[in-house]
Each structure stands twice: as C-alpha cells, then as structure tokens.
C-alpha cells in the first residue's frame, strides 16, 4: 500500500516507517521543507498547506505530529504550541483526506483525554475528563471532522506512555535507574498506562488492516501499573536498587504545572483492541521493561 505519515521523525514515527517499509509498503514522509526525494511530501500545517498532487493514490494517512508534552516547562506560550501543533496538523491532514479519500486516516491522540481517573478503570466509552491535556485532546480529536464528514474511516489512537529506550518518558528515567538512583514519584500509587514500542507499532499495523474499527482506540497494555509497580519492575529487570523517591513538592517545583500529569493517575483499558483480538507481546510492565 501507499502510506503517508506525518511526524515520521519522532519515536513512534521513525519505528513505524521502518516497520511498514519492511512489510513492502511505500511510505511517504511529510516534511516541513522542500522535498528531497519521491518518498517525501512537503507540507506546512501551520498554514494549512500540503502537496495534494504527491498524495494521489495514498491509501493510508497517519498523523503523529505534535510538540512534545514533556519536552519543556508549561509556559502559556508552550501550552499554546502543544495545542496548535496538534490541531493544525490534524486539520490539514483531515482536509487532505477528505479530497484524496484514503481507506483510513489514523490520527494520533492520547490517554490524557480521560483526565485524572485515580484508581478507576476507563475505556473508549468513558467520558472526556478535565484539565489542560483533556481539553487539548478533545480539540485534537475534533479536528478530524473533515475526513469523517467525507466518509473516510477515522481511527483516533489514544496512546499511553510508550516504553522505549530512545524517546518518551523512559528515555529520561532509564539512565537514572541504571545508575541505581531510581525510585517512585510522589506516593507511587498513581497509575501509569503504558505500552511497549513494539506493541504500539503492531497495534497501528493491526488497525490499518481491520476496516471494522473506527473512532477512539486506546493504545495501552491491558494491565496498567502503578508508579510503584513500574519502579519495582525497573529494579528487577535492571538488577538495581530502587531506594530513592522524589516527593511531590519537589516535582511541582521542578516541573511546574506538568507535575500534575506525572503525579496524576490514568488507569486505561484497551477494550477495542482486546475485543478485536489484538495480541499484546508485552501485556504487563515487567515484559515491557524487558524490551528496553
């Protein structure tokens, strides 16, 4: 198939490009500069510009673009960038999809949709929560409207914390645990809904080939873990002590408003994937950490 991917240089995007090309698919990478080869398509999501001619014949649109939520301190300016980068990229691809009519438009989303759920389990049927990220995700998903109205199958992948050594949350905490300075954050009771990188890629591939699935889909492992359980798994797999802990007040000082997300609890169940028969290679936190 001919597949177009935005956000192809990120953690998930780069792994997905490699996987799809290994499966024999033609992958077009959307880039914010003049294209340098036939495998690149120029676009400017901030201005709603995209090279539609080069997208002719594309059967799958995948949008993974967006400013990193934990990359910088949440100033008012950066919060606007987090929102705008997602809404602009999604709107631009949705309008393009409405004209090209691919078989499916898979748009990145996040479990931040549910807000803080404490120890209450939620699935795709659960309501939108409250807070900055919950509001962002609501607008992010709504930006797919043009494609949906045109009759394109739209899948909104609500991704959890991706367990990978070279990006995301684990890239930051892995060196600390390797040195033996790892420990729980806050009281450690907050749920972290995670997914291994290989399950993330396999799930996206699964969604491409299952036309009966549309709408929101949680991309998280079926057994979410508390931060304390994550800490113990890291210590067990890496064979390092996990005696240290970071108190809540320290996280609030260092991370500012983003600390609410680190200390918040989101217990997410991937009901749609499980009901469709998707098989997780890493259903629990110990298995996922071993992939590091």
| pLDDT level of residue 72 (50, 70, 90 thresholds) | confident
Specify the pLDDT at position 108: 98
> Does pLDDT of 262 surpass 80?
no
CATH number of the domain that 200 lies in? 3.40.50.720
In a domain, 250, yes or no: no
Whether the predicted model's global pTM rises above the 0.85 cut: yes
Q: What is the pLDDT of residues 196-245, one digit of tens each?
A: 999 999 999 999 999 999 999 999 999 999 999 999 999 999 999 999 88
Instruction: Calculate ∠ Cα 82-84-90, nearest 5°.
Output: 105
Q: Structural domain of residue 33, as residue ranges?
A: 2-163+195-220
Whether residue 4 has pLDDT greater than 90: yes
CA distance linking residue 257 with residue 238, whole number of Å: 31
> Is 85 within 8 Å of 66 (Cβ atoms)?
yes
Residues 182 and 244: beta-carbon distance below 8 Å:
yes
**Residue 24 included in any domain:** yes
Please list the alpha-helical segments (H only) found in 101-142: 132-142
Confidence of residue 254 (pLDDT cuts 50, 70, 90): low
Residue 259 lies in a domain: no
Q: Residue 180 falls within a domain, yes or no?
A: no
229 assigned to some structural domain? no
Does residue 291 belong to any structural domain of this protein? no
Structure tokens at 80: 């606007």
**Torsional sign, CA 114, 201, 83, 2:** negative
pLDDT digits (tens, 9 = 90+) for 11-68: 999 999 999 999 999 999 999 999 999 999 999 999 999 999 999 999 999 999 999 8
What is d(CA 163, CA 252) in angstroms, rounded to the nearest whole number? 24
| CA–CA distance, 189 with 263 (Å, rounded to integer) | 9
On whether residue 237 sits in a domain, the answer given is: no
Strand (E) or helix (H) holding 265:
none
Contact criterion met (CB below 8 Å) for 110 and 159? yes
The string of pLDDT tens digits covering residues 222-231 is 999 999 999 9
CA distance linking residue 223 with residue 212, whole number of Å: 25
Give a yes or no: residue 124 inside a domain.
yes
57 token code pair: 């014949």
Domains in the chain: how many in total?
1
- Residue 253 has a pLDDT of 67
Confidence of residue 94 (pLDDT cuts 50, 70, 90): very high
The whole-angstrom separation of Cα 264 and Cα 245 is: 16
What is the per-residue pLDDT for 255? 67
């Amino acid at each position: 198939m001919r597949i177009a991917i935005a956000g192809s240089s990120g953690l998930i995007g780069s792994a997905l490009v490699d996987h799809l090309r290994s499966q024999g698919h033609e992958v077009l990478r959307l880039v914010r500069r003049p294209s340098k080869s036939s495998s690149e398509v120029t676009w400017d999501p901030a201005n709603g510009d995209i090279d539609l001619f080069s997208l002719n014949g594309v059967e799958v649109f995948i949008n993974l673009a967006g400013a990193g939520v934990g990359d910088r301190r949440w100033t008012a300016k950066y919060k606007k960038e987090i929102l705008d980068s997602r809404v602009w990229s999604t709107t631009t691809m949705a309008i393009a999809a409405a004209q090209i009519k691919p078989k499916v438009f898979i748009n990145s989303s996040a479990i931040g949709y549910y807000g803080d759920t404490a120890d209450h389990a939620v699935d795709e049927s659960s309501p939108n929560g409250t807070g900055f990220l919950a509001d962002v995700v609501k607008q992010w998903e709504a930006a797919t409207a043009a494609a949906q109205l045109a009759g394109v199958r739209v899948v909104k992948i609500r991704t959890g914390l991706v367990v990978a050594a070279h990006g995301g949350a684990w890239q930051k905490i892995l060196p600390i645990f390797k040195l033996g300075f790892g420990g729980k954050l806050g009281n450690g009771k907050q749920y972290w809904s995670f997914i291994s990188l290989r399950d993330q890629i396999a799930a996206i591939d699964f969604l491409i080939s299952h036309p009966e699935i549309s709408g929101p889909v949680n991309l998280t492992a079926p057994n979410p873990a508390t931060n304390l359980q994550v800490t113990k798994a890291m210590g067990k797999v890496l064979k390092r002590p996990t005696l240290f802990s970071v108190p809540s007040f320290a996280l609030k000082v260092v991370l500012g408003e983003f600390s609410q997300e680190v200390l918040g609890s989101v217990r997410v169940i991937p009901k749609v994937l499980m009901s469709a028969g998707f098989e997780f290679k890493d259903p629990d936190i110990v298995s996922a950490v071993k992939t590091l």
